[in-house]
Structure 1
Amino acid sequence: MALDTSDLLARSDIGDELLPGTTLFHGSYRITRFINSGGFGITYLAQDSLGREVVIKECFSSNFCRRSQSRVRARSAGTREHLSKLVRAFLREAQSLALLRHPNIVGVHQVFEENDTAYMVLDYIRGHDLLEIIDEKPADLTPAMIVRMTGKLVAALAYIHDNQLLHCDIAPDNIFVTPAGEPVLIDFGASRRTAAGAAQKYSGLSVVKDGYSPHELYTVGGNSGPWSDIYALAASLYHAISGQAPENCQTRLSALAEKRADPCKPLAGHVAGYPPGFLETIDRAMAVMPTARFQSAADWLKALPQPEPKAERKVVLVRRVVPAPAAATEPARETPRAAAVPVAPVVPMPARPRRPATRVAEVDLSGLRRISGFRGGWLIDALTGSVMASEAGGAEPEVADRALAAVAQANLQAFAPGDAVEDIQIARTDRLHLIRPLDRTPHVFICVTLDRETANPALARMQLRRVAQAVRL
C-alpha cells in the first residue's frame, strides 16, 4: 500500500478514514475521496487501474478499532476478539455477496484483506439515495414510481433470501435510485447468512436504525429472519409515501403491550393515488409482531396488486377481420371450335375454411417487467404464430418476436390436444424462456425471455401466472 500525503499533512480535520491518494491491493485501486461511515465500515470513492470509478468499503467499526497510520488496530485488549470476529464476518458475507447477480442489488467485484482489516469493491452507482430524494425532491416520488420500485425491491429481497442471506440494514439511505428511476439495494455491511425461511438467533454485532429496524434486531438473541428485512423495507417505503419516518418499533411495541393505540398510523385509508390493496401490503409488512408480517418476500410479491396505474399501461388493440368466403366460380362456358369436341365443365374448388380470428379487447403485459432478469414478453396465437401484443425488454423486438414465436409454437404443438400444460421452460445459452398458455384460450400463450443469471424461475412462474390470468380475450 502507498500513501500520498503531500497536500494533506497540514490538515487537522482528518478522522478515521484513509486519505485521498491511498492505494490498495498492490496499486489496483486509488482512493479519490471519503463518502461516508457507518456502524460497520467506511466507504470511499476510488478508481481502479483502468481509471473506472468504483466504491470501496472498508471494514472499520469505531467502537472496536482505531487507525494507526493506515493499519487498523483494536482499541483495547478487550475489543481485540470483537474486531477479529467483525473482520471474519465481513469477509464471509462479502464473498457471499460477490456471487449475487441481480439488477436491483449492488454488484461486488472483489474482496481482499489489507491493513489488518478487509475491503470489498462495489459498483459505483450514479444517482441519489432514497433519503435524499425524500428530503430534497419529494415530488419525484409519485405513486406510479413507488409502486414500480416496490415490486423490484421486493423481488430483489426474495432473491437475497433465496441465497440464504439477510440484509439487516435496509433503510432509505441504503436504497439508491438511478437517474432512470431504477432502485438498487446497497450497503450489505450488516448482512449475515441464515437458513432460508428460518429464524436466526444472533448475538453478535447488529445495526439498528430507529424507525426502520424491527424490534427483534434491538435485542441480543432476537429471532431475526426474512420478516426482519421485510419490516425494514416496508418502513423505508412508508417514509417515501408519507414523507415522515415511522415511529420507533420499540415505542410501537410498548404501546401494544400497554394496550394503547399504535403511534404509527396505517397508510391504507389515509393516502390516495395508489392501486387498491397496495398500501395494505405495506401496513402488513410493518406489523410490530413478526408473525403478523409476510413471512417471505415471495408472499409479499404475490400479495401486491397486479394492475399497474392506467397511465402506465401499454394497451395493444388487435383486430383481424375475417374476409367473406370466396364466391363459387361458375363453370366455364364452351367455346365454339371448328371440331365439335365436348369440353368438360370446370368444377369449382371448395373454399378453404378459415380459422376464427382471436379478438383482443385489451392486453396489459406490463406486469412482466416485475420479473427479475426480464428481457421481453409476447402474447402469441399458436394457430397462426402471429404476435398479438408485446412488452419489449432490452432485446431486439423483431428478431426476438420471430424466434420466440417459433420456439413456443413448436413446443405447444408437440402436445396432444387436451393435454394440460401449465408452462414450458426452455434454457438457451444465457437466456431462459418461459411459455404459458392462457387457461381459457389455450391456443394463445404468453412467452417471456429472461436473463438466466438474474432470473428466479420460481418467482418468474408465479408472476407469469398472474399476468396470464389477467389477460381477457
Structure 2
Amino acid sequence: MERIMSGYSLRLQEPPFALPFDTILHGRYRIGKVLGFGGFGITYMGEDLRDQRRVAVKEYFPGGFVSRHPGKLMVETTSGYRQFMRGKDNFLQEARIIYHCKNSHILKIFSLFEENGTAYYVMEYLQGSDLRELLKRNGGRLSWADFEPVVLQIMDALCEVHKEGIIHRDISPDNIYITEDRTAKLIDFGAARALSTEKSRSVILKKGYAPPEQYQSHGRQGPWTDIYALGGTMFRALTGEMPPESVERVRHDTLKRPETYGIGLPPSVSTAIMKALSLREEQRFQRVEAFRQALMKESIEDSAPTGRLKRAFGEALKRADGLFKKNQAVTLVGITGFYASQSFKLEQDVTVGRDPSVCGIIFPPDTP
C-alpha cells in the first residue's frame, strides 16, 4: 500500500501505526522495515544517510498511551499524559546510559533526539541472535568451552557499566546478544538505575534471574544484584534448566550444583556460580572482577596437572577420613613433581598443606 504525502511516496508498514517506509528522521536517518515492537517501543532498520551505514532506530511508542494514524508521523497521546512523559524521560535516560558506556561488548548508541511528539535513539545494527534463541537452537544448553567466551565478554561489559555507577538490573539470556562473529553484546538498559539513587526503585523482575533484594522497592541493590542475575544466566545456559525463583529459595532452597545435571564442568566454575547465586547479597561476589578471577584462576588450576593432583590428593584424604595419626600403617608415595618416588611413613601426627610453619608435608610444593 502506498500513500502520497508531502510530495513523495510513503509505503505503509506492519503494524500500521509504525512510521511509514522512507520517513527521514533528524534530517539523516531513513526508516526501513520494522524489526520488532513491544509494549514500550518500535525498532526499525534504518540507514544513516550522512555516514552511509545501516543502523537500527528505536522509537518510544508505549501501547495504551499513544496512537498514530496510518501514514502519519506525529504521535498522539490518548491517555495518561504524565505517565507518557515520565516514560519518555526514562527512555532517553536508557539511551544516555548506553551512550556513555564505551565498551565493545555494550550496544553502541550513535544519537538520541525528540521528534514527532516522541523520542528516538539510533544504535548499531546487529546481526545474530540473543542468547535465548541460541540456546533453543543448541538443544537448550551450551558447553562451558562454548559459553566461557560469552561470559567473559559480558563480564567485561558489566565492569564498565558498574564503573559508570550504573546497575543493569535485567541480565538474562534475552538481553545478551551474540553477533555472527561471536561477539557478545549487553543490550536493553531499560531497567538500569544509578547506584547512588537513594529513593525507592521500581520493582523489575525476571523470575529465576532476580535476587531477593530486587523484589523489594527499598532492597539494597548494587553490583551484586547483577552478579546474581549473571550467575542465574550461566546456570540456565549450562544446565538447560531455569534456576529456582529466589523468593521460593528463601522458603525452601532447591538449587542444585550445576555439575549434578550431568554436564562436564570444572568444579571451580560450579562453585563460582553457586557463590554468585547466594541468597544473601553479602555472601556473593561484591565485584564482577572477583567473579571473573574466580572463574579464570581456578579454571586454570583445575585444568593443569597440579590441579588434578590436588583433587586426587584431596580424595585420598577423604577416604582416610582426613586423619593421619602416628602408629597407623600409612605410607604416602609421591607420584609426580617434587615428591616423585619419595615415600613417607607416618610415625607421628602430620599435617599436609602449603604452610611450612605448620605442615609436616608441603603439598603442592612451589618447586616445579
Q: Normalising to structure 1: TM-score of the pair?
A: 0.56
State the number of aligned residues. 300
Residue identity matched to 2:293? K
Deviations 1:15-57 (A, max 9, x none): 653343332112x112212222345432222111044211112
The equivalent residue for 1:31 is 31
Q: Which runs of 5+ in 2 are unaligned?
A: 305-365
CA distance in 2: counterparts of 1:472 and 1:95, whole angstroms: 53
Distance in 1 between the 2:23 and 2:7 partners? 4
d(CA) in 1 for partners of 2:299, 2:7 = 53
Is the partner of 2:97 in helix, strand or coil? Answer: helix
Measured in 1, the distance between the counterparts of 2:6 and 2:146 equals 45
TM-superposed deviation, 1:185: 0.7
Aligned to 1:256: 250
**Structure 1 position 179, deviation (Å):** 2.5
3-state DSSP class of the match of 1:306? helix
What whole-Å deviation, never above 9, does each CA across 1:321-359 have from its counterpart, x for those lacking one?
xxxxxxxxxxxxxxxxxxxxxxxxxxxxxxxxxxxxxxx
Compared with structure 1, are the counterparts of its residues 157 and 133 closer, same or farther at alpha carbon in structure 2 (3 Å cutoff)? same
1:284 partnered with 2:275: yes
Say if 2:239 is the partner of 1:242. Answer: yes
SS of the residue 1:36 aligns to: strand
- C-alpha spacing 1:97/1:308, structure 2 compared with 1 (3 Å): same
Give every structure 1 segment of 4 or more consecutive aligned residues whose post-TM-superposition deviation is greater than 6 Å: 1-5
Q: Report whether the alignment pairs 1:62 with 2:63.
A: yes
Provide the secondary structure at the position in 1 that maps to 2:296.
Answer: coil
Is 1:297 the counterpart of 2:260 in the alignment? no
Q: 1:235 to 1:39 in 2, by over 3 A?
A: farther
Name whichever of 121-130 and 290-299 sits farther off.
Answer: 290-299
- Pair 283,34 (structure 1): closer, same or farther in 2 beyond 3 Å: farther
CA contact (8 A) 2:105 2:183 kept: yes
Q: What does 1:333-348 correspond to in 2, within 5 Å?
A: none
Q: Distance in 2 between matches of 1:73 and 1:190?
A: 25
Higher alpha-carbon deviation: 145-154 or 13-22 = 13-22
Q: Quick one: structure 1 residues 292 and 115, their matched pair in 2 at CA, closer, same or farther if it must change by over 3 Å?
A: farther
Contact persistence 1:227–1:295 (CA under 8 A): yes
Partners of 2:11 and 2:20 within 8 A in 1:
no
**Offset from partner CA, 1:343-376 (integer Å, 9 cap, x none):** xxxxxxxxxxxxxxxxxxxxxxxxxxxxxxxxxx
2:228 maps to 1:231: yes
1:158-173 alignment runs, 5 A limit? 158-173=159-174
Alpha-carbon RMSD: 3.3
Name whichever structure is richer in helix by fraction: 2
Paired residue secondary structure (1:42):
strand
C-alpha spacing 1:244/1:276, structure 2 compared with 1 (3 Å):
closer
Mark the CA change 1:61 to 1:221 in structure 2 (over 3 Å): closer, same or farther. Answer: farther
1:68-467 correspondence to structure 2 within 5 Å: 69-76=72-79, 79-138=80-139, 141-195=142-196, 201-204=199-202, 207-247=204-244, 249=245, 252-257=246-251, 260-262=252-254, 264-306=255-297
The match for 1:44 is 44
Distance 1:81 1:38, change over 3 A: same
Contact 1:109 1:120 in 2 (8 A): yes
Q: Give the TM-score of the pair, scaled to structure 2.
A: 0.71
Q: Aligned partners of 1:41 and 1:3: how far apart in 2?
A: 28
Bigger Cα Rg: 1
Partner amino acid, structure 2, of 1:41: G
State the 1:291 CA deviation. Answer: 3.1
Question: Structure 1 vs Structure 2: percent identity of aligned residues?
Answer: 31
CA 1:70–1:211 in structure 2 vs 1: closer, same or farther (change >3 Å)? Answer: farther
- 5+ residue gaps, structure 1, are 314-470
Distance 1:62 1:165, change over 3 A: same
Q: For residue 33 of structure 1, what is the amino acid of its counterpart?
A: K
Letter in 1 for 2:285: F
